[in-house]
Structure 1
Amino acid sequence: MRHRLAGLLALLLLLASGQLAIAQSAGPGERPSQCRAIASLVPEVTYAQASPNDRGLFQGRTADRDVRITYVTHATFLIESPAGIRAATDFSGYAGPVLPDIVTMNKAHSSHNTPYPDPAIAHVLRGWNPDGDGPARHALSLGDMYVRNVTTDIRSWGGALEPDGNSIFIFEVAGLCIGHLGHLHHRLTDEDYAEIGRLDILMVPVDGGMTMSQEGMGEIAERLQSRIILPMHRFRGPIDRFLAKVPDFAVEWRSEDSFTVSVTTLPDRPTVIVLPGV
């Protein structure tokens, strides 16, 4: 309770001092993010879940606000917007029979990227900078979807950390904020959380070995308080080990590999949804 009161006080001070706009500002030529944190250095804050009207959504048919998410394989999800924009995460060459409009990749292994994406894919977003001169930066608007990234370091085969070798990609669509942690290898800083902002849906690797520990992933899920947590990147270890790290979250075991969701149909409490094949 004291942490939340301290966070609220800090937020009120930001509002009074006029610094809130700075915390929300976008980079040069970058579209302002509806998901980015409203205060950059307020630890332990649980981000507010804005109503549909607050997110710029108006009354209309439910289908106009539905986003479809499909688990494809390993760390690949297909995200389909109400307008039909298709984005595939950690794309290694396949995301279904229809090519995505956008693919994101991460450097870690060949199961998270492909050097030969189909030339018909309009937008290929690599989570690392192939030129090696600084982090990859993406801020792509396509139709009703906006995709940006927050870079993190990655562990090399020798054990050293390579700066900015991984990206957490954030997909902003139909008022929802959807985050994919990629091949995350280390705990996040307050600055990372501020850059990420609020996430309604979190795609999290749960292998507990090749990526960060299941305990560490559980801490991220607990802090972000996303309404839907989608496990991915699991090998042979039982998923119950990850579920034990988030004992206060509800758990749903689905029989189909895809579902639709909108701002108005998000669960009231954080819920882990386990899709077939995970």
Structure 2
Amino acid sequence: MKIKWLGHASFLISSDSGVRIITDPYEPNDKLRYGNINESADIVTVSHDHSDHGNVAAVKGNPQVVKDNARIKGIEFKGVPAFHDTAGGKERGKNTIFCFEVDGVKVCHLGDLGHGLTAEQVAAIGAVDVLLLPVGGFYTIDAAVASQTAEQLKPGVVIPMHFKSNKCDFPIATVEEFLRGKKDVNKPDASEVELKAGKLPEATRVIVLKPAL
């Protein structure tokens, strides 16, 4: 399977058989200048209905939209309830964590997670091979809580998302704060990585992708 970072919290995940999943498609604006999403997909997951995560109309191919538990094209999607803040959703609402398996690789997309995970949430998420992890803070967990979350879930690969960049002017931190002190960091000159079940790192590796858009 392949994972391409489109930008912000949006990824294109492609199975070996050609099933295409897009997570949290964004709507560009003056502060979020990643390019328009012109990709097609079979499935779109939406963690919450804010414009920088729920722009389903941008995705081509008449995809099926997943906002909770679902089974589509042989892939089980598990939605784990969470919040967009540390106040039980009172400030920014609810957030859904999505867990699904593609070609034997267990993926977890945390959406705009705004708090540390509870033991119950960790148990509900279960085993994780690839963790798509917000790290920028302010709207989501910050670098410190993101690091704790990675330690809780123990994925083979972490791909950071939702951080400040030259295309994102939100009042959030860059990825560098999260990377500080990490032992295994890979920064390929690419927006896409191919991952295979049984060939993932035993200790967590952080892969920082370049935005495709």
For the pair 1:239 / 2:172, whether they are aligned, the reply is no
Contact 2:24 2:55 (C-alpha < 8 Å) held by counterparts? no
Identify the residue that residue 138 of structure 1 maps to in structure 2: 69
Equivalent-residue separation in structure 2 for 1:98 and 1:212 (angstroms): 28
Equivalent-residue separation in structure 1 for 2:106 and 2:37 (angstroms): 23
SS of the residue corresponding to residue 264 of structure 1 reads coil
Identify the residue that residue 188 of structure 1 maps to in structure 2: 117
Structure 1 residues 114 and 266, CA, compared in 2 at 3 Å: closer, same or farther?
Answer: same
Identify the residue that residue 102 of structure 1 maps to in structure 2: 43
Identify the residue that residue 13 of structure 2 maps to in structure 1: 79
**Residues 87-166 of structure 1: pairs in structure 2 closer than 5 A:** 87-92=21-26, 97-107=38-48, 109-114=50-55, 116=57, 120-126=61-67, 137-143=68-74, 145-155=75-85, 160-161=90-91, 165-166=94-95
Equivalent-residue separation in structure 2 for 1:104 and 1:227 (angstroms): 22
Instruction: Using the TM superposition, name which of 221-230 and 115-124 deviates more.
Output: 115-124
Greater helix share, structure number: 1
Contact 1:76 1:90 (C-alpha < 8 Å) held by counterparts? yes
Contact 1:204 1:231 (C-alpha < 8 Å) held by counterparts? yes
Considering Cα pairs closer than 8 Å and 6+ residues apart, tell me whether 1 or 2 has the greater RCO: 2
Contact 1:108 1:154 (C-alpha < 8 Å) held by counterparts? no
Contact 1:200 1:227 (C-alpha < 8 Å) held by counterparts? yes
Question: What TM-score, normalized by structure 2, do the two folds share?
Answer: 0.82
List gaps (5 residues or longer) in structure 1. 1-66, 127-136
Structure with larger Rg? 1
SS of the residue corresponding to residue 112 of structure 1 reads coil
Question: What TM-score, normalized by structure 1, do the two folds share?
Answer: 0.64
**Residues 54-69 of structure 1: pairs in structure 2 closer than 5 A:** 67-69=1-3
Contact 1:153 1:161 (C-alpha < 8 Å) held by counterparts? no
Equivalent-residue separation in structure 1 for 2:37 and 2:19 (angstroms): 14
State the 1:138 CA deviation: 1.3
Structure 1 residues 108 and 210, CA, compared in 2 at 3 Å: closer, same or farther?
Answer: farther
Q: Which amino acid aligns with 1:262?
A: K
Structure 1 residues 248 and 241, CA, compared in 2 at 3 Å: closer, same or farther?
Answer: closer
Q: How many residues align?
A: 197
Equivalent-residue separation in structure 2 for 1:83 and 1:225 (angstroms): 28
Structure 1 residues 113 and 251, CA, compared in 2 at 3 Å: closer, same or farther?
Answer: same
Cα shift readout 1:40-75 (whole Å, capped 9, x = no counterpart): xxxxxxxxxxxxxxxxxxxxxxxxxxx011010111
Equivalent-residue separation in structure 1 for 2:115 and 2:49 (angstroms): 13
SS of the residue corresponding to residue 106 of structure 2 reads strand
Instruction: Using the TM superposition, name which of 268-277 and 113-122 deviates more.
Output: 113-122
State the 1:115 CA deviation: 6.3
SS of the residue corresponding to residue 223 of structure 1 reads helix
State the 1:266 CA deviation: 0.8
State the 1:186 CA deviation: 0.9
Equivalent-residue separation in structure 2 for 1:78 and 1:69 (angstroms): 6
Equivalent-residue separation in structure 2 for 1:90 and 1:78 (angstroms): 10
Following TM superposition, the consecutive aligned residue runs of length 4 or more in structure 1 with deviations greater than 6 angstroms are none
Q: Which amino acid aligns with 2:114?
A: H
Q: Which amino acid aligns with 1:153?
A: F
Equivalent-residue separation in structure 2 for 1:77 and 1:91 (angstroms): 8
Q: Which amino acid aligns with 1:150?
A: V
**Residues 173-184 of structure 1: pairs in structure 2 closer than 5 A:** 173-184=102-113
**Residues 208-247 of structure 1: pairs in structure 2 closer than 5 A:** 208-236=137-165, 237-244=173-180, 247=181
List gaps (5 residues or longer) in structure 2. 28-34, 166-172
From 256, 270, 274, the counterpart of 2:190? 256
Cα shift readout 1:54-109 (whole Å, capped 9, x = no counterpart): xxxxxxxxxxxxx0110101110010011111000112368854410000113263
